[in-house]
Homo-oligomer: A and B are copies of this chain.
Amino acid sequence: MPILVMKFGGTSVATLDRIRRAAKRVGMEVANGYDVIVIVSAMSGETNKLVGYVSETSPLYDAREYDAVVSSGENVTAGLMALTLQEMGVPARSWQGWQVPINTTSAHSAARFIDIPRDNIDAKFAEGFKVAVVAGFQGVSAEGRITTLGRGGSDTTAVAFAAAFGAERCDIYTDVDGVYTTDPRISSKARKLDKIAFEEMLELASLGAKVLQTRSVELAMRYNVKLRVLSSFEEPSEGAGTLVCAEELIMESKAVSGIAFSRDEAKMTVVTIEDRPGIAAAIFGPLAEAGVNVDMIVQNVSEQGYQGHKEGVTDMTFSCPIDQLKRAEKALLDARDAGTIKFDRLEADTDVCKVSVVGIGMRSHAGVASKMFETLSNEGINIKVIATSEIKISVLIDRKYMELAVQALHDAFELEKA
């Protein structure tokens, strides 16, 4: 039998009624001839309740016990889903991480998959069971301790099972009906994409689209697992949702697939540093150690007289999440006190946002950057920092222009058209 993986998130299993609704979807796929592996999250709110218990009990908790406690929400849903399927006449069995076993590293609360042996679940399929309901987000370490994968880990569990079992597809049921060209709350012209390449999804997800956990997309890309994101609240239909797949499966792509944005950015400039080899390492080493996630980096040209600088000195500008700005500041001041770097002062700007255009098509379409800059210029929006990758161009701009920029770019690249 071909195997299908179906994953239901917390809102899709929030009540017994919703579990029943999800089970009906599973039953339909069984009727379509699949052996189905269902990955479930905890009923929404449950994991937060358990995390709350742990935090209140022990602020600096032992991650082993944290994992043992918070993984229990998924176990409950797995059992209830199996019971619901049985009630509908579909032979189903629940599986906790240790029963499969889902072997992971011992990095509690941030465990990585080692392997998922198929034997036990395959044996049940051979017995006539049609569905294996697996508790998401969890695994077991070599020490026999329960591990968890970190928040959102159930998406990753789903992709890992799809890879391990050679599934035809991995369907992620959630509370949105797919991936959009941009956030519909920002632009009413946002359009649902039928297909998107892994690489694009990675750029969109990490930029805040928040539909799929980044790690699950990375894993899907590595094992070439076809991922489909769709809503568990809409009636099933042909071509529902968005297929996240290898580039080759997307016949013709536009230059730009989507516009992503992030409000929580801050910009910091280190003013008047020496322009010498190793200076970047001297600055970003301490920031990395302090756990600051530096995103965009720009080193200004070093030229005598430029911005009043003497020759041999320059400025370095970077962006980071706004809540890490204080930490960044402290790390750099400490480094200066320790004598490892010299600079005049730090200039922080917390009123910025990041807007990015993303698309695998831009590799073969020239002029995307110039069109982006022109569009922003026409709207009178000043660009503060620019960063580019092969399939993405990002700019930092004043936060007040964010909606305007997203709408103008969405129009300029005609994303409302299929």
**A→B interface (CB under 8 Å):** 16, 19, 50, 53-54, 56-58, 61-62, 64-66, 68-69, 72, 75-76, 78-80, 82-84, 86-87, 93-94, 96, 98-99, 120, 144-146
- Contact A57 B76, CB 8 Å, known A94-B65, A96-B68, A98-B98: no
Among B75, B80, B93, B120, point to the contact of A57 (Cβ < 8 A): B80
Inter-chain contact B86/A144, CB cutoff 8 Å: no
Q: Which residue of B lies closest to A62 (CB)?
A: B86
Apart from the given pairs A54-B79, A65-B80, A68-B75, 4 other A-B contacts in the complex at a CB distance below 8 Å = A50-B76, A53-B80, A58-B83, A72-B76
Within 8 Å by CB of A58, from B75, B87, B98, lies B87
Known: A54-B83, A83-B57, A84-B58. A99 touches B144 (CB 8 A): yes
Most buried by B among A54, A66, A68: A68
Measured between beta carbons, the chain B residues less than 8 angstroms from A75 are 68-69, 72, 75
A385 to B69 alpha-carbon distance, docked (Å): 53
Can you list 17 pairs linking A and B with CB atoms under 8 Å apart?
Answer: A16-B57, A54-B83, A57-B83, A57-B84, A57-B87, A58-B83, A58-B84, A62-B86, A65-B80, A66-B83, A68-B79, A68-B94, A69-B75, A69-B79, A69-B80, A72-B72, A96-B146
Query: Which residues of B sit under 8 angstroms from A61, Cβ to Cβ?
Result: 83
Max count, chain B CB within 10 A of own CB: residue among A19, A64, A79, A120:
A79
Residues of B near A53 (CB, < 8 A) are 16, 76, 80
Closest residue of chain B to A70 (Cβ to Cβ) is B79
Q: Which residue on B lies nearest to A99, using beta carbons?
A: B144
Report whether B82 and A65 are in contact in the complex, using a CB–CB cutoff of 8 Å. Answer: yes
The residue of chain B having its C-beta at the shortest distance from the C-beta of A133 within the complex is B65
Task: Contacts A69-B80, A76-B50, A94-B68 given; indicate if A16 touches B62 (C-beta within 8 A).
Answer: no
**A146 CB, min distance to chain B CBs, angstroms:** 8
* Residue of B with least CB distance to A67: B79
> Which chain B residues lie closer than 8 Å to A65 at the CB level?
79-80, 82-83, 86, 93-94
A72–B94 alpha-carbon span in the complex (Å) = 13
Q: Bound complex: CA of A99 vs CA of B67, how far in Å? A: 14
* A95 (CB) vs chain B CBs: closest residue: B68
In the complex, the answer to whether B76 meets A69 with C-beta atoms within 8 Å is: yes
B-side contacts of A80, CB under 8 Å: 53-54, 57, 65, 69
- Give A18 Cβ to nearest chain B Cβ, in Å: 12
CB-defined contacts of A68 to chain B, threshold 8 Å: 75, 78-79, 82, 94, 96
Complex CA gap A173/B76 in Å reads 27
- State the CA gap A410–B339 with chains docked (Å): 87
Q: How far is the CB of A126 from chain B (nearest CB, A)?
A: 15
Measured CB to CB, the nearest residue on chain B to A69 is B79
**Distance, CA A87 to CA B59, complexed state (A):** 9
A96 to B145, CA, bound (A): 10
Question: Which residues of B lie under 8 Å from residue A79 when comparing CB positions?
Answer: 54, 65-66, 68-69
- Quick one: closest B residue to A86, CB to CB? B62
